[in-house]
Amino acid sequence: MTALLQAINLSRRFGGVQAVSELTFTVNQGEILGLIGPNGAGKSTVFNLLNGVIAPDTGQIIFDGKDITGLPPYTVARHGIARAHQIMQPLLGLSVLENCMVGACFGRENMNLADAREAAREVAQSVGLGDRINALAGSLTTAGKKRLEMARALSAHPKLLLLDEVLAGLNPTEIEHMIETIRGIRKGGITILMIEHVMRAIMSLSDRIVVINLGKRLAEGTPREIAENPEVITAYLGDSKLLATAEEGAP
Amino acid sequence: MIGILASVVDGVLVGAVYGLAAMGLTLIWGVMNVINLSHGAIIVLGMFVVYFLTGATGVSAYVGIPVVVVVGFVAGIIIYWMSVNRVIGRPILMSLLATFSLNMIIIGLATAAWTTSPYNVPVSLPGITVQNYTFTGTHIMAAIIAGAIAGILYLFLHYTRPGKAIRAVASNRDAAELNGIPTRQVLAMAFGLGVALACVSGALIATLFPFTVLSGGAYQLKSFVVTVLGGLGNPAGALLGGIALGMVEGLATPFTPVSWTPIIEFGLFVLTLIAFPRGIFAFTKA
Amino acid sequence: MPSSISQDVAKAGTFKPQRSFADEIYRHVREPFPWLIVIFTAVVGLAPVVMDDVSLRESLLLAAVYVTLASNLNLMIGYAEYVNFGNIVFFGLGGYIGVYLATSWHVNLVLSVLAGGVCVSALAYLFGRGILGLRGAFFALATIGVNEAIHAFVTNFEPWGGATGIYLSMDAYEPLGGPMSGLWFCYYLLVLVMGLSLLLSYAIKTSKFGLGILAIGQNEDAAAVLGVPTPRYKAIIYAISGFLPAVAGGLYFFKSGIIEPNGAFDLTTSIEAIVMIMLGGAGTITGPVIGAFLYEELRGFLLFSETFSHLQLVLAGALLLIIVLFVPGGLLGWLRARLPWLRKWLQ
Ligand SMILES: Nc1ncnc2c1ncn2[C@@H]1O[C@H](COP(=O)(O)OP(=O)(O)OP(=O)(O)O)[C@@H](O)[C@H]1O
Ligand SMILES: [Mg+2]
């Protein structure tokens, strides 16, 4: 197993809040790694550090053998990291297709416009936005916008996909649909690092899980190990459903 | 040497009035994120109100100040409901254009009514002579009034219910709304206050220098410079920024031709924007 | 059903399409829109000749300048959604450089105005890397500052005549065969610059670069995360938006026979260009053209009408206010929303 991404000793402080603290973890080639933790644990901040939106105070990020610490987000994107945001950021005035084309044009493969159009159409279809391709992004429903976030990231043909709570706010059918989509992406050879609060989903999708709390790493292991870890259970304030959902969802 | 010092002191006095003008701009900007591009036109309005008031009644310009405040406040509220309310929260271009179109309307009407010839408000006040340099009485008086109004504004914003409501709406409009504050009314009031401040500064400027219908543009640009120096939405910073700008002007006057002052001002402005986008005096933010 | 989805996704991840460059060119030539621009430009250029009407030429010349200013400013305001209040600085500075080279150094007029364009774009690029770090209103204010600073500087710059500016003597038009043919020459070139401005707007909108710029306009942070190199792209579009206005400035002031600071760096003209864009529809290609022609008509009407000549500014302001408050998409936005079949023709 080779490491695609290594985060080494990352720390970041915002005023009085130590959002991320000496965090180290590795994402292996081809796996789905889950990143979980209570609200405000610093998960989204970790993503911001990884893709260059925020520079870490200390620490190092190695991606695909290259040091990408402190690079701006657009350079990180070019290296092959794409991201679906927790707070959806569709380009409202552009169509679904154009949104995806931006991802394709400026992502890892640096495609020209015509190639990007084809790639974007393909991806939009595959995540179930095929019939909304010419609709303005602003006219999509919440579920549609979530899919668009994902499609846009995917259009870049990234090596690593960062998914930040893509299931939040979806109904059970939509969740089911999205889980299938995520499995499909992994089958396509894309490594995934995902943040998720929907336990059943993260337990069934992830190969491994990293748990953080107050910016620090609390535990790491397979979904079953995590579900049985007493520290994790305390951090989630004795969320009794955790164990149950883990067992139900485990492959 | 005394000449330079005197020039700087005089700059500080006039700068306090710039600070007052900028306070009107920065209050509106800070509370509703609108840059009021009719600011200059409103300053001119203040000039003409005091001009006609003193002309018609013969009272001193300083006695007319409260009237200018009331007229400015009412005008501000009308302007808010007419053109600003609909653009709150829309892209910045919209509020810039809405207030700019007001600028065109006001300047257009004022030009039609009063032409573009120069006016002045005669005020006679004894100056203060130190060694052989005389500080003009009107400059001293204007600075005192500007300082007093700034103080009153501070007390109003911090110790009265409407003032606190304005600050609450400025810091988080949604939270204020949830707490039962009628945010739109508060925004209208803040806009009225900002306009009233601009009018008063216009009235004070009218006692210092001759003016025309088109004078507002220059003072509006100065207000921008001051606002940027003082930090956005920060009335105390605006006063400091105004004094700083006045000092720079005072310092520059003995050494460079007057025509170079704008280059210095705008150079300072652009550099400050780039280097300190949150303002040099931002640390005093209330 | 779910398994077919996952297979699609798997396929999508590896898809590698092929398209040749010739296909790309063909795609544009096949479109009706660029041809519309060419025809429009030719009509404007030839109308005063065919009608043998010098006053028509003068008003079309002004319109061509307005379209050039509005169309290029639209690259910033409509595409990148950065509000540039000081766009007139390009026109003025380009005008000064062009006129100065053509008169004091006797450089060929076309070369002079091109040099003006290149200098202005280069300056804009360097400057843009500084001030484009500012967002929203801060950027808008900085552009005013830049214009005013350069205005004040030129007013004091003796080689360019300081506050009085540069007057052209009749000799200046000798290389063009005298003042008469010189005026026509400037007219044709200005119309050409107008046409190029429109083609540029079209080319950018249909390019990868343009897609990046539009993305920046929608959400700059999201664009950067998607890989758009935002600082560089912003500086480039800023520089591009200065080139043709600078060239037009050189031609316009050369034709006028005089350039002085207050005329060259007039903020009002800057704002008028914004009014034109808003009137026609920001972010569209045709919008600024329609806006420029409408605005010029309106202004002419107001200037010459008995009742309104004093209230010209008031009416223009009221018009702008109404657009901003009630029709923010401009005429074109309004039409496109109601008549979808028009979209192919009115881009
Ligand atoms: N840009 C920022 N400036 C200041 N503080 C920030 C910033 N970003 C995050 N924080 C703070 O850092 C902490 C971690 O936030 P983060 O968004 O990473 O949490 P999270 O784990 O993603 O939470 P959630 O599950 O709610 O999405 C929070 O206290 C947050 O307020
Ligand atoms: Mg989060």
**Residue A21 maps to a domain:** yes
Question: Quick one: A75 and A166 in the same domain?
Answer: yes
State the nearest Cα–Cα gap between C343 and chain A, in angstroms.
13
- Using the mean position of ligand 2's atoms as its centre, give its distance from the Cα of residue A40 in Å: 7
Same domain, yes or no, for A71 and A98? no
Residue C67 falls inside a structural domain: yes
Please answer yes or no on whether C211 and A101 come within 8 Å at the CB atom: yes
Q: Check residue B174 and give its pLDDT.
A: 86
Same domain? A73 vs A117: no
Which atom of ligand 1 has the smallest separation from the CA of A47? 18
Interchain proximity A77–C225, CB inside 8 Å: yes
Chain B residues closer than 8 Å to C134 by CB: 273-274, 277
Q: How many domains does chain B have?
A: 1
Does the structure show a pLDDT above 70 at C55? yes
- For B87-115, how does the pLDDT look when each residue is reduced to its tens digit (9 = 90+)? 998 888 888 889 988 998 999 999 988 88
Helix (H, G, I), strand (E, B) or coil at C69: helix
Interval C234-243 mean pLDDT: 95
**CA-based nearest distance C127→chain A, Å:** 21
Domain that holds residue C228: 4-267
The nearest alpha carbon in chain C to B87 belongs to C325
Extract long-range pairs of A200-204: CB within 8 Å, 24+ residues apart.
A200/A245, A200/A248, A200/A249, A201/A167, A201/A175, A201/A249, A202/A34, A202/A36, A203/A34, A203/A227, A203/A245, A203/A246, A203/A249, A203/A250, A204/A179, A204/A249, A204/A250, A204/A251
Task: Enumerate the residues of chain C whose CB falls inside 8 A of the CB of residue A161.
Answer: none
> For residue C41, what pLDDT is reported?
92
Residues A220 and A118 in one domain: no
- CA–centroid distance, A27 to ligand 1, in Å, is 22
**Per-residue pLDDT tens digits for C59-74:** 899 999 999 999 999 9
Q: Measure in Å the smallest separation between the Cα of B277 and chain C Cα atoms.
A: 7
What average pLDDT does this structure show over B14-31?
Answer: 92
How far apart CA C298 and CA A132 sit, in angstroms, is 42
Looking at the domain assignment, is residue C250 inside a domain? Answer: yes
**Going along chain B, which residue ranges are E strands?**
128-130, 133-135
Q: Clarify whether residues A197 and A73 are in a common domain.
A: yes
Ligand 1 pocket mutation, candidates A10, A45, A86, criterion most atoms within 8 A of CB: A45
Rg for chain B (alpha carbons), in Å?
18
Q: Ligand 1 centroid vs A42 CA: distance in angstroms?
A: 5
Q: Is residue C121 in some structural domain?
A: yes
Any A CB within 8 A of C228 CB: yes
From the alpha carbon of A197, which atom of ligand 1 is closest? 25
Judge if A13 and A47 occupy the same domain: yes
Q: Is the whole-model pTM more than 0.90?
A: no
pLDDT digits (tens, 9 = 90+) for B224-274: 888 888 877 778 888 888 998 998 888 887 787 777 777 787 788 778 877
Would C279 be classed as within a structural domain?
no
Chain B neighbours, 3+ Cβ pairs < 8 A: C
CA distance A64 to A184: 22
In the structure, which protein residues have their CB atom closer than 6 angstroms to any atom of ligand 1?
Answer: A 14, 17, 19, 37, 39-45, 86
Three-state DSSP class for residue A54: coil
Is the residue at C152 inside a domain? yes
In this complex, do B273 and C140 lie within 8 Å of one another by their Cβ atoms?
A: no
Other residues' Cβ atoms within 10 Å of the Cβ of residue C326: 9
For residues B188-210, average pLDDT? 94
Instruction: List residues bridging with A6 in a β-sheet.
Output: A26, A62
Phi then psi dihedrals of residue C171, to 5 deg? -60, -30
Cβ separation B100–C271 shorter than 8 A? yes
How many angstroms separate the CA atoms of A186 and C254, rounded?
Answer: 64
CB atoms within 10 A of CB B35: 23
Atom of ligand 1 nearest to the CA of A38: 25
Q: Does C340 touch chain A (CB under 8 A)?
A: no
Separation of alpha carbons B147 and B155, rounded Å: 13
Residues 156-195 of C with CB under 8 A from B: 156, 163
**What is the phi/psi pair of residue B241, to 5°?**
-60, -40
The alpha-carbon gap from B167 to the nearest alpha carbon of chain C, in Å, equals 21
Number of CB pairs, chain A paired with chain C, less than 8 A apart: 150
- Kindly report, residue by residue over C109-140, the tens digit of the pLDDT: 899 999 999 999 999 999 888 787 777 777 88
B124-128, B159-163, C270-274: range with highest mean pLDDT: B159-163
In angstroms, what is the span from residue B281 Cα to ligand 1's centroid?
Answer: 28
Question: Residue C53 Cα, ligand 1 centroid: separation in angstroms?
Answer: 68
Pair C287, C330: CB distance under 8 Å: yes
Walking along chain A (251 residues) 10 residues at a time, the average pLDDT comes out as: 89 90 92 91 93 93 92 94 88 90 91 89 86 87 88 91 89 87 89 90 91 89 86 67 49 39
Which ligand has the shortest distance to the CA of A198? 1
Which tens digits make up the pLDDT trace of C11-25? Answer: 544 444 455 666 666
- Where do the DSSP E strands lie in chain C? 166-167, 258-259
CB distance from A222 to chain C under 8 Å?
Answer: no
Residue C28 confidence (pLDDT): 67
Q: Which residues of C86-125 are buried (b: 16+ CB within 10 A; e: fewer)?
A: bbbbbbbbbbbbbbbbbbeeebebeebbbbbbebbbebbb
- pLDDT higher than threshold 80 for residue C306: no
Task: Tell me which residue has tokens 């485990």.
Answer: A250
Per the domain annotation, does C305 fall within a domain?
Answer: no
Domain membership of residue C283 (yes or no) is no
Cα(A206)–Cα(B143) distance, integer angstroms:
69
A140 within a domain of the structure (yes/no): yes
Q: In C, which residues are within 8 Å of B263 by CB distance?
A: 149, 152-153, 156
Range of the domain at A109: 86-158
**pLDDT on residue C6:** 47
Domain-terminating residue out of A135, A158, A181: A158
Task: For residue A132, give the amino acid letter.
Answer: R
3 state SS of A99: helix
Q: In this predicted structure, what is the pLDDT of residue B256?
A: 78
CA of C153 to the centre of ligand 1 (A): 47
Picking from B105, B227, B228 by the largest number of C CB atoms within 10 A of its own CB, the best residue to mutate is B105
CATH at C155: 1.10.3470
What is the distance in A from the centroid of ligand 1 to the CA of B283?
24
What are A82's two structure tokens? Answer: 């794409």
Q: How far is B142 from chain C (nearest CA, A)?
A: 27
Joined tokens for residue C11: 């396929």
**CA-closest candidate to residue C36, choices C331, C290, C337, C294:** C290
Q: How far apart are CA C259 and CA C101, in angstroms?
A: 13
| B97: its two tokens | 């254009």
Q: How confident is the model at residue C108 (pLDDT cuts 50, 70, 90)?
A: confident
A158 phi/psi in degrees, rounded to 5: -75, 165
Q: What's the mean pLDDT in B134-150?
A: 87
* Any domain includes A45: yes
What's chain B's average pLDDT?
86
Structural domain harbouring B206? 2-284
Q: Does residue A180 form part of some domain?
A: no
Q: How confident is the model at residue B44 (pLDDT cuts 50, 70, 90)?
A: very high
Q: Give domain status of residue A184, yes or no.
A: no
Other residues' Cβ atoms within 10 Å of the Cβ of residue A154: 31
Indicate which of C225, C228, C236, C343 best probes the interface with A, i.e. most A CBs within 10 Å of its own CB: C225
Helices (H), A140-188: 142-155, 172-187
Report the C-alpha gap between A103 and A80 in whole angstroms. Answer: 11
Chain B touched by C324 (CB under 8 Å):
yes
Of A138, A158, A178, the position where a domain reaches its end is A158
Instruction: Tell me if B224 and C145 make a contact (CB, 8 A cut-off).
Output: yes
Residues of B with CB under 8 A from a CB of C: 29, 33, 35, 83, 86-87, 90-94, 96-98, 100-105, 107-109, 111-112, 217, 221, 224-225, 228, 257, 259-260, 262-263, 266-267, 269-270, 273-274, 277
Which chain A residues are closer than 8 Å to C343 by Cβ?
none
* Segment 1-40 of chain A within 8 Å of chain C by CB: none
Q: What pLDDT, on a 0 to 100 scale, did the predictor assign at position C32?
A: 79
Q: Whose CA is nearest to atom 31 of ligand 1?
A: A40
Number of structural domains (chain C) is: 1
Residues A53 and A2 in one domain: yes
Contact across the interface for B108 and C131, Cβ inside 8 Å: no
CATH number of the domain that B9 lies in? 1.10.3470
Q: Is C283 helix (H, G, I), strand (E, B) or coil?
A: coil
**Average pLDDT of chain C?**
85
Q: What is the mean pLDDT of residues B46-68?
A: 90
Contact B108/C317, CB-based, under 8 Å? yes
Kindly report the length of chain C: 347
Pairing mode, strands A58-63 and A3-14: antiparallel
